[in-house]
Chains A and B, each alone.
Chain A
Amino acid sequence: MSSRERILGRVRRALADVRPDDTPYEQAVLREYLREHGERSVEETVDLLAENLADYRAIVHRCSAGDLPATIAGMLAARGAKTVLVPPGLETAWLAAADVERVPDRAESSARQLDQLDSVVTACAVAVAETGTIVLDGSPDQGRRRITLVPDHHICVVRVPDQVVSSVPQALELLDPARPLTWISGPSATSDIELDRVEGVHGPRTLEVILVG
């Protein structure tokens, strides 16, 4: 007997008390919780996103679409970044004003090569106001998962209010599970020393989020 058959057989014997007409999934799982917490206007939702991002030590900037290239250029200059990693589908206008070397991400770029780069600029798939979370789904304007992980400085552009939802349930509805997703809430952190939160471990230690719109 294979282990698969052995385990499934054990499960079935263990569940001898469960009748064939056991309550089906739809009725067994009551969803009496809220779809979102509190009522907010669109502006208030964007404000809450900004507030919660900042609460977990992301640096938040707000600007209009027209000012975006200058804003990004200013941030990269302030950081002293010389090289910036660019996902294949990033809008070229976003980096038009930046005085840095643009390094396109290629499938063959190794982790070691990515480690040499100063910054990365990406878009996002959706942002969650209640938790201060941005979600990347690997679309061409966000690139492979590793490019937002290895460089120490990540600039993420969120189009507001279009890409902002209030809650985790609303975000999951919009996301495609077949894509590899990365949910990011602030820069990398740890609570492993005396259960106290410290920012800055393996992921980018500086996360800057630009809310555009």
Chain B
Amino acid sequence: MSGTFVGMPAFPKAAHEAVHDQTLRGNLRHATHTIRGKRATAVAEVSDWAALRDAGARIKDHTLRHLDGYLVQLEESVTAAGGTVHWAADADEANRIVAELVKETGESEVVKVKSMATQEIGLNEALEAEGIRAYETDLAELIVQLGKDRPSHILVPAIHRNRGEIRDIFAREMSEWGRPAPDGLTDTPAELAEAARLHLREKFLRAKVGVSGANFMVAETGTLVVVESEGNGRMCLTLPETLISVVGIEKVVPTWQDLEVFLQTLPRSSTAERMNPYTSTWTGTTDEDGPRDFHLVLLDNGRTDTLADEVGRQALRCIRCSACLNVCPVYERAGGHAYGSVYPGPIGAILSPQLRGTASEIDASLPYASTLCGACYEVCPVAIDIPEVLVHLRERVVQGGQVIQGGNKVVLKPAKGHAAERAAMRAAGWAFARPAALRTGQRLASRTRRLHPRSLPGPGKAWSGTRDLPAVPAEPFRDWWQRTHGGKDGAK
């Protein structure tokens, strides 16, 4: 089975290894640069992009602010349409529910549509432990599953693999899982796609249970929406007799009309298409068309903890398009694995530490996995101010304070690794509150400037290791201002 993220080292360490991997760097650079230009073109095609983005943000914000009401409404609509709704407070509960539902059908295998929620809860591993084999059917997920790898991108989990590597994985591993790769398989994308088609066909045609996520759930109608490209989604949603959809509670939108915003912004942001090849919507069950049994598992798993943070809750607007990954200079170089979560990139850096808390080394380091350049905010189709949340989470890591974890109030201790930073800030705070001391200090610094070292000693060494220390001017600014009356005297 694919690897897990448990026990990941902090971001700087994981990234340090990744940036020295030339193949990985090349693959990521090629893929992200390809999609960047295409996305810009697709977005420029619609003149009202800013208004669509604003509407998307407002719909999501409003829904989150009244999430309890919309979830109850959704439950009623789905139930009225013939579906069964389950509630899962955490990953274990969701996995248990799905495993039970599969066992009730008497089946021991399921086909899966690509789903971030089921990745997040480790469903495949949990099912494996119960003797149920889960087949990933999205091409990139298949590459990850066959390669016993970890996903490194939200949309294209195998973005870190180039065509040659994919060819090798298919040729080597497909026979372990079912139909082997065709003899003489080359690395042209069309041939690789054909190999996946043949390999998975057999599994689709015999599948009795499908497992999916959903991109959207409509509260007023009980409709679920899956947006995809390959047709594997349609296969999993329509051929099996039982369909189990595991969906985060933040995926609900109030009305059918709301889809008109997201069905325009998601494909353009995600694959840079006017519209993705296939979008399926279904409302409960339909006689003689598609699954007879439909189960919806509503997943919390840290979402309500995130909701409790008034600044951080905007992360729950995310529609998982991955545009922020594709433009991020840090992601482009460090790759997805360094983020230690199924949610990599800028959105992962604010989502993972909120969903999981900041207790682990990796989660405490994620808010720092950014240069705060803001490119992610600019491309976000629901206007999540990722830099704002990053800074907010840095504050939480350094200062500690009260947060909600697992639904309970917890007071976090300030993180240990930031003692020098805290001491420096305290010293600065003291000096700025005492003008006389500040003046004396500044004059002293100016007079001794020729003696200043070029890098900081002690705990500051790491900081100045990659930066030049700013040069201290010969005369402090305030002295200059008083001497020249703000430069009016023309004196230098």
Residues in A lying within 8 Å of B, measured CB to CB? 2-4, 6-15, 17-18, 22-23, 25, 28-34, 37, 52, 56, 107, 111-112, 115, 128, 130-133, 138, 144-146, 149, 168-169, 172-173, 177-198, 200-204
B138 touches A192 (CB 8 A): yes
Contact status of A7 and B304, CB under 8 A, knowing A29-B58, A182-B234: yes
Q: How far is the CB of B333 from chain A (nearest CB, A)?
A: 17
Chain B 6-50: CB-based contact to A (< 8 A → 1; otherwise 0): 000000000000000000000100111011000000000111100
- Tell me whether A7 and B300 are in contact (CB under 8 A): yes
A-B contact sample (16 more), CB < 8 A, given A11-B304, A202-B232: A4-B87, A56-B274, A133-B275, A144-B288, A145-B238, A145-B290, A179-B286, A180-B289, A182-B234, A183-B278, A183-B281, A188-B277, A188-B278, A189-B230, A192-B158, A203-B277
Asked if B2 is an interface residue, CB under 8 A from chain A, the answer is no
Question: How many Å lie between the Cα of A149 and that of B234 in the bound state?
Answer: 7
Is B395 interfacial (CB-CB < 8 Å)?
no
| B390 contacts A by Cβ under 8 Å | no
28 contacts between A and B (CB under 8 A): A3-B88, A7-B249, A7-B298, A14-B404, A15-B307, A28-B62, A30-B55, A32-B55, A37-B47, A131-B275, A132-B275, A138-B289, A144-B238, A145-B289, A149-B235, A168-B264, A178-B221, A187-B277, A190-B139, A190-B229, A190-B230, A192-B230, A194-B34, A194-B162, A194-B163, A194-B189, A200-B190, A201-B139
A184 x B278 contact (CB < 8 A): yes
Does B280 reach chain A (CB closer than 8 Å)? yes
CB distance from B256 to the nearest CB of A (A): 5
Partner pick for B72 among A8, A34, A149, A188, CB 8 A cutoff = A8
Closest to A35 in B: B260
- Interface pair A18/B271, CB less than 8 Å apart: no
B256's contact among A7, A17, A172, A191, by CB below 8 Å, is which? A172
Contacts of B59-76 to chain A: CB distance below 8 A:
59, 61-62, 65-68, 71-72
Q: Which of B93, B231, B282 contacts A3 (CB 8 A)?
A: B93
In the assembled complex, B244 has its CB within 8 A of some CB on chain A: no
Asked if residues A195 and B275 are in contact (CB atoms below 8 Å), the reply is no
Q: In the complex the two chains form, is B62's CB within 8 Å of A33's CB?
A: no
Whether A202 touches B197, Cβ cut-off 8 Å, given contacts A2-B87, A7-B87, A192-B140, is yes
The answer to whether B193 touches A10 (Cβ under 8 A) is no
A191 CA to B422 CA in the complex, in Å?
Answer: 46
Among B51, B66, B280, contact of A180 (Cβ-Cβ < 8 Å)? B280
Interfacial residues, chain B to chain A (CB-CB below 8 A): 27, 30-32, 34-35, 45-48, 51-52, 54-55, 58-59, 61-62, 65-68, 71-72, 81, 87-89, 93, 137-140, 143, 155-156, 158-159, 162-163, 166, 189-190, 192-194, 196-197, 200-201, 204-205, 218, 221, 223, 229-232, 234-235, 237-239, 249, 254-261, 263-264, 271, 273-283, 286, 288-290, 298, 300, 304-305, 307-308, 310, 313, 404, 407
Query: Which residues of chain B come closer than 8 Å to A33, judged between CB atoms?
Result: 48, 51-52, 55, 261
Given A30-B54, A194-B30: A11 and B277 within 8 A (CB)?
no
Closest 9 CB pairs of A and B: A203-B231, A202-B231, A14-B308, A10-B304, A131-B275, A183-B279, A201-B230, A33-B51, A192-B140
Tell me the complex Cα distance, A168–B275, Å: 10
Q: How far is the CA of A186 from the CA of B66 in the complex (A)?
A: 38
Complex partner residue of B34 from A7, A130, A195, A203, CB under 8 angstroms: A195
Residues of A within 8 A of B221 (CB): 177-178
Q: Does B159 lie within 8 Å of A200, measured CB to CB?
A: no
Chain A contacts for B197, CB-based, 8 A? 200-202
**Cβ contacts under 8 Å, A2 to chain B:** 87
Residue of A nearest to B59 (CB): A29
Residue among A56, A169, A181, A201 facing the most chain B CB atoms (10 A cut-off): A201
Closest B-chain residue to A18, C-beta based?
B65
Known: A10-B300, A131-B275, A203-B278. A196 touches B72 (CB 8 A): no
Complex Cα–Cα for A17 and B230 (A): 43
Q: Which of A10, A111, A180 contacts B239 (CB 8 A)?
A: A111
Q: Chain A: which residue is nearest B36 at the CB level?
A: A195
The answer to whether B274 and A189 touch across the interface, beta carbons within 8 angstroms, is no
Docked complex Cα distance between A144 and B289 (Å)? 5
Complex Cα gap A187–B32 (Å): 24
> Known contacts being A3-B87, A33-B52, A112-B205, is A11 close to B307, with CB within 8 Å?
yes
Beyond A172-B260, A201-B232, A202-B231, is A185–B277 a contact (Cβ under 8 Å)?
A: yes
User: How far is it, in angstroms, between the C-alpha of A201 and the C-alpha of B192 when the chains are bound?
Assistant: 10
Cβ-defined contact, B230 with A185, below 8 A: no
How far apart sit A182 and B290, CA to CA, in the bound complex (Å)?
12
The answer on a CB contact under 8 Å between B238 and A149 is yes
Contacts of A149 in B (CB 8 A): 231, 234-235, 238
Complex contact B55–A130 (CB within 8 A): no
